[in-house]
Amino acid sequence: MLKVNIIITSKFNRKYLNEGGFLLPYSMLLFMIVITAAVLSTSLFLSKYRYLVNMGEVYERKVSIAHGALLGMKDPVPASVIHEGDFGETEVVNSLLNEHEVLMEITYQTDEKVFKPVSVVYNRETKQIIDWK
């Protein structure tokens, strides 16, 4: 230990060393860099996690609305159907626009909130979607 202290003291001026022989300003700078990198990586991980959770909720809503549209096309008679799914509740209200077209209003809701309804117009005979708003 004494030999190492002598080598460090002979290579550097005494102003860079504290009483124990360590390079205090440089070790403090290295410590600050490591702590800053740790905080930034943690916040990056948390923001990525929040993004993935939000995107999962968006895809759950889209899948539930598409499933509600499929259920509404099975029975083209003007009716109202409520379907409980894995992600939330989908309400489908059918109404006839004319003899060939049916309008569906699909409302999706979870425990936290109710989303804006989606309007789907489709042909009764061919089941082809004409308009999706």
Q: Is residue 18 part of a domain?
A: no
Q: Is residue 20 part of a domain?
A: no
Token output for 46: 């948390």
Q: Is residue 7 part of a domain?
A: no
Structure letter (DSSP) for residue 127: -
Q: Per residue in 82-106, pLDDT tens? A: 888 888 899 999 888 888 888 999 9
Q: Is residue 15 part of a domain?
A: no
Q: What residues make up the domain containing 127?
A: 36-132
Q: Per residue in 32-76, pLDDT tens? A: 999 999 998 888 888 888 999 999 989 988 998 888 888 888 876
Contact 114, 106 (CB under 8 A): no
Cβ-Cβ contacts under 8 Å for 97 (sequence gap 6 or more): 103, 121
pLDDT winner (highest mean) among 2-11, 69-78, 108-117: 108-117
- Number of domains present in the structure of the chain: 1
